[in-house]
Amino acid sequence: MNIYISGLSYGTNDADLNELFTGYGDVSSAKIISDRYTGKSRGFGFVEMQNDTEGQKAVDDLNGTEYDGKTIVVNIARPRIERPSNGGYRERR
């Protein structure tokens, strides 16, 4: 189960996220998303858990709780939707 976590403190790292969810079951991966230019946290991340039942328990228990001084939002992640690129450089003719 892929879980989306938002509202994270900018000081939270991958290991912190892994530790938070390990209490609910086996964590396959925990990743804080960072800005591609600055490398700083964007305040959200994803956790992949092996067992869907354990993952749902983590979502139910952690959603709306305080972690590292901030109230976090925890949901089941939706599949990423590919969007067409509307920006960027295009040569004029």
Q: Domains of the chain, with CATH numbers? A: 2-76 (3.30.70.330)
The reported pLDDT for the residue numbered 5 is: 97
Global confidence as pTM: 0.82
Per-residue pLDDT reduced to its tens digit, 53-91? 999 999 999 999 999 999 999 999 988 777 776 666 656
Dist CA 32 CA 46 (whole Å): 7
Give the pLDDT of residue 85. 66
